[in-house]
Structure 1
Amino acid sequence: MHANIPYLREIILFLAAAGLVMPVVRRLNISPVLGFLCIGLVIGPYGLGRFEERFPAIGYFVVSDLEGVQTIGELGVIFLLFSIGLEMSVGQLWGMRRTVFGLGSAQILLSAAAIGLAAGVLGAEPQTAILLGLCLALSSTAIVMQLLSEQLRLGSQAGRTAFGVLLMQDLAVVPILFYVGLLGSEVEGSFWAAVSLSIAEALLAIAAIFAIGRLVVRPVLRFAGSSGSREMFMASVLLFILGTSALTAQAGLSMALGAFLAGLLFSGTEYRHQVNSDIEPFKGLLLALFFISVGMRLDLAAIWSDLAAIGLAAAALIAGKALILVLLVRAFGRPWGVAMETGMLLGEGGEFALVAVTAALGMGVMAPDLAQYVISVVVVTMLASPGLAWSGRKIGNAVAASEQETANAMPEDVASEAIVIGGFGRVGRTLGRILEGQRIRYVAIDSDPHLVATEKARGLPIYFGDASNPELLRHIGIEHAAAFVTTMDQRSAAERIVSAVHKSWPHIPIYARARDPDHARKVRSLGAYDAIPETTEASLQLSESLLFGLGVPDDVARSVVDQEREYSSQDGPHRAGGEGGATRSAKR
């Protein structure tokens, strides 16, 4: 074996950070993104690297090859966007077209205009001011999407809005890169004709990828999977991801956008779950390397020497972009809480600004001092991203709750002779639709202000609050309600609500969602009239479908499943002698 493996020391440092330092960071409840950024700051040339001449031994713990680390780390961004595309579909993406092309385009144009104007006022040359406006208008796709993923917020209204804007920003890389290229060269013919041609070529590349991908992806994966070799299957997946990313890069688009398109192609296949599981380790490790490379760029000495100017510029950039986004998101019909959270999420500068500024410096169209100043501002805002995301969520929730308190105007006795639903998530909304279809009146209570604002805007009878709060329930007149249903999927929340309602109003029949038979027995003991374990129901429905598929007559299959359902529920407190179980089985 070769004794001098390239980058062996850097690999060992990185693995030590990922395997030894990050568990400590997680135990301290610090965002992994912030942890990796700080690790990069420490092991980079501007951290421990400053002491290498005085203490040569420190050199073993320093990574000085910034470009090499960042190049490899960009693969992490590619895998992140691929996994996001894997969880979506073309139909979902088309449904977001107003957010992507409307809100996203408006954000880029207005932010670029405001930043460019500010740079011009401060003395920048017109072409440099335009470049700065375009680059700083974009946010960090890698950091924002990772933060949303960590917080399980990708599916929230703010998460979907932020993703739509980021997707448009990735598309905008085409004309921006074209403009950067123009700064150092002469263009023949019309400028706008050249830009239009560049955009048309990019769109043609996207269409070609989709058209060819739909024909090729499934057969290739089927062939690789039939070989019985997991390595061959993984190699095929990596080929598609990196090949698509390379094609979009060749067309002037970002490689991350190409990976997202590849994810969309895979999402419509039966291999999506296996693929997602296989790439997870690649994505996590390489994305961590990207964040470390960003932290390595932070020169604390340069920032300290010009702390006031850099701090003021970073704060102005975040505040300006956030303000523009808040107003735009609100103008596009989102609640104020969602607008505040989205604005804070996307207030930072992005990795593309680092690339563009470095390119402009190499072409001689930006002074070295200005380039280092801009890079410092961008990295500082990226370092602040986890805090911005946390603050944005807190502010957004507070604003949404305040909105809801004003909009709620919860009338007294609104629950009289109605079904009260505690929790209006997926199960609660399904139950509400069924009750509406049967013309049965219901009132829903949920503690998610964004969800309440959204469903309230659709005209549904939903109010903000804690469904286990006796005062709130008494205010809506639960003592005259027809029944109470809790749809919470968390054990403790369901038990708390059932106990609170039964203790104060024992005459109200309570129906509860349970996680499993043990949990169902627990909530029944707390006073629930009935509890449906979701795992049991899923297995019963699966069994019934299997029996149908095996040719068992429909009535026989249903009878067998109903008997098993009755047997599983015989331990309920209201089923003395099996009467309750028989009644429920007959109803089904």
Structure 2
Amino acid sequence: MEIVLGLFLVAAAATIGGVAARSFKFPVLIGYIISGIIFGAILPPSVKNISYFAEIGTILLLFSIGIELSLDRLYKFWKVAVIGGLIQILLVTFVSYLLLNLFGFNSATSIILSLGFSVSSTAVLVTILGEKGEMNTIHGGIMFSWALVQDLAVIPIMIFLPILGAFGGGGIVGLVAISLFKALLLVLGAVVLGKLVVPYVIHFVASANSRELLLLVSVAIALGTALIASFFGISPALGAFLAGVVISESQEHHAIFAETRPLRDLFVALFFVTLGFLVSPQVLLSHFFEIVMLAVLVIVLKALVVFIISAFFGFKGKTGVANAFGLAQVGEFAFVIFSTALGLKLISASDTSLGISVTLLTLIIAPLLFDKVVPFWRKVRDITSKWPALGKFFSSGEKRGDNAGIGFSDHIIICGYGRVGKWVGRALSTFDIPFVVVEYNQNVVNELTEGGISVLYGDPTEPEVLEAVGIRQAKAVILAIPDRVAQETLITYVQTVAPNVKIISRAHEDKDWEKLKTLRVDKIVQPEFEAAIEIVRSVLISKGKDRDEISEAVKSLRVSHSK
């Protein structure tokens, strides 16, 4: 019954911690770990001994990350992501190693902690970018690709850990050769099975049209590959990650991810709560200043390295700052590295606790830090503008497309050319109404330039960008971007410098509608509401209602919605 009791308490702790974290708009994994720290201090050791469930959580976590891996997306920014990402890992690891030595850690512990600190959280990054609607921006694409490279870099790191344990003993060269040979066999085996066997097995099972069978075969593949990896002396979680990468190329990978996600989330919660068990409150209290100092140093170091590398590849200004702030935190793979090293007896329990604490603190700071990208960039840009040599690294970076002949007046400015802005632009083109697009997605800018459409690359919330597209001479500005904060910034500026310019804004949610009303926007359009209106209209027509009745019903809905 101790196992059942342990699972119950861990599930309860995860629920409490997760709800609390979401209430403060933090990732749930932070709540899991903090609840694990609290419950771990009061629960007896026998109840906390459910590490095998946590190991399953690690396996399923890496399996799902492998499934989500997008090599196509990685290809778009491969230079800065692959070359820059690998350089960043090496630089951060090296400098962190030196700093940790200064703090008095031994060489093995310094190496392990440095490797863990060098990677960032893909999960937290995707969450932040998704919430802000910046996944398809230049900095969003770079950061996501960069994080994917870090995920892939965990493969050699996990292979390196057992080798590290051999230092001080004999036969280190032979062990390195054997470990690399085993890893090569595992990767080659995964590739061969992924091309010749796995797709057919998955397709055969999927043809049975059974969600349960698809879930079972997916879990079997993940656990089976983990078992084979363990047999080769390689981390089981790494084997599951390779299995996920193989499945990511199959047609059914979206369905597999959807089916395995609930099971993964359950065991991952167990994993992060049990990680919290490893954090000693005594270590937190006795090393509090050291933990805070290390977290700050890691964030500053990673941000500085990422910014310099981004600038070297030509991504300066706001994009470079966003990259730096977004990748400054330490990721969930650090937990895997620390726990694996602890299992190999390469690092002490107290140092593991310290490493997890530093990682946790950076994850708590991450969302708050990313909110300061624009204010920080503007402040530094204004300061460095006095020194051209420095100022060029923080310039706004707005860039006109080849067809951006922006010299007319009474034109329309479309901010954002996504699903909404695209249709607005097509309609304006049909009636030969002059317009210019402001877009922060370089791929869209390139497409519009090739299509002969006036476009300017840049952030529409920046005064320089709005002035470049002639905001003071415009007839109207259309806000097709979903980010409410960006909308408010843009609206405030336009109302200040060009009060006669009509503002038409998209509202993403009901709360956005209310906020836009208080800002006195000329016209507010909520796509979801307009879709509902058209559905109602179609239903009433199918029921034989006359035009007047339909118009009255639609009018009533609009009046109700505007209140």
Shift of the 431–70 alpha-carbon distance from structure 1 to 2, 3 Å rule, reads farther
> Are 2:209 and 1:216 aligned?
no
Runs (5+) with no aligned partner, structure 1 = 50-61, 541-566, 573-588
Report matched runs for 1:169-188 at 5 Å: 169-183=153-167, 185-187=169-171
The match for 1:444 is 437
CA distance in 2, matches of 1:277, 1:399: 38
Letter of the aligned partner of 1:223 in structure 2? F
The match for 1:27 is 23
| Offset of residue 32 of structure 1 | 1.8
The match for 1:72 is 53
CA distance in 2, matches of 1:310, 1:351: 16
| Offset of residue 278 of structure 1 | 1.7
> Are 2:396 and 1:407 aligned?
yes
Q: 3-state SS of the aligned residue for 2:151? A: helix
Q: Check whether the contact 1:33–1:288 (CA below 8 A) recurs between aligned residues.
A: yes
Report matched runs for 1:17-416 at 5 Å: 17-19=13-15, 22-44=18-40, 47-49=41-43, 62=44, 64=46, 68-95=49-76, 97-99=78-80, 101-120=82-101, 128-129=106-107, 132-139=110-117, 144-153=121-130, 155=135, 156-157=140-141, 159-183=143-167, 185-187=169-171, 191=173, 195=176, 198-251=179-232, 254-334=235-315, 335-346=319-330, 350-355=334-339, 357-359=341-343, 361=345, 371-401=348-378, 406-407=395-396, 416=409
> Are 2:45 and 1:11 aligned?
no
Greater relative contact order, per chain length (Cα 8 Å cut-off, separation 6+):
2
The TM-score normalised by the length of structure 2 is 0.69
CA distance in 2, matches of 1:232, 1:140: 39
Q: 3-state SS of the aligned residue for 1:48? A: coil
Letter of the aligned partner of 2:334 in structure 1? G
Q: Check whether the contact 1:487–1:494 (CA below 8 A) recurs between aligned residues.
A: no
Q: Check whether the contact 1:84–1:260 (CA below 8 A) recurs between aligned residues.
A: yes
Match of 2:457 among 454, 462, 465: 462
* RMSD after superposition: 5.3
CA distance in 2, matches of 1:506, 1:498: 12
CA distance in 2, matches of 1:294, 1:529: 47
CA distance in 2, matches of 1:300, 1:495: 43
| Offset of residue 384 of structure 1 | 0.5
The TM-score normalised by the length of structure 1 is 0.67
Letter of the aligned partner of 2:342 in structure 1? T
| Offset of residue 7 of structure 1 | 0.5
Q: Check whether the contact 1:445–1:463 (CA below 8 A) recurs between aligned residues.
A: yes
Letter of the aligned partner of 1:394 in structure 2? D
Shift of the 122–17 alpha-carbon distance from structure 1 to 2, 3 Å rule, reads closer
The match for 1:561 is none
Q: Check whether the contact 1:85–1:261 (CA below 8 A) recurs between aligned residues.
A: yes
Q: Check whether the contact 2:115–2:157 (CA below 8 A) recurs between aligned residues.
A: no
| Offset of residue 21 of structure 1 | 5.4
Match of 2:416 among 402, 423, 445: 423
Percent identical among aligned pairs is 22
CA distance in 1, matches of 2:201, 2:22: 39
| Offset of residue 177 of structure 1 | 1.9
CA distance in 2, matches of 1:114, 1:472: 38
Shift of the 73–424 alpha-carbon distance from structure 1 to 2, 3 Å rule, reads farther
Larger radius of gyration: 1
Shift of the 285–103 alpha-carbon distance from structure 1 to 2, 3 Å rule, reads same
Shift of the 73–322 alpha-carbon distance from structure 1 to 2, 3 Å rule, reads farther
| Offset of residue 34 of structure 1 | 2.1
Runs (5+) with no aligned partner, structure 2 = 383-394, 450-454, 536-546, 553-563
Letter of the aligned partner of 2:176 in structure 1? V
Shift of the 161–417 alpha-carbon distance from structure 1 to 2, 3 Å rule, reads same
Q: Check whether the contact 2:81–2:146 (CA below 8 A) recurs between aligned residues.
A: no
Deviations 1:132-190 (A, max 9, x none): 2254222487x8233234435494246414513422431222452243232264217xx
CA distance in 2, matches of 1:490, 1:111: 33
Deviations 1:506-531 (A, max 9, x none): 9979797999xxx9xx99xx977999
Letter of the aligned partner of 1:232 in structure 2? L
Deviations 1:318-347 (A, max 9, x none): 444444344334434443213321442238
Letter of the aligned partner of 1:137 in structure 2? L
CA distance in 2, matches of 1:472, 1:441: 18
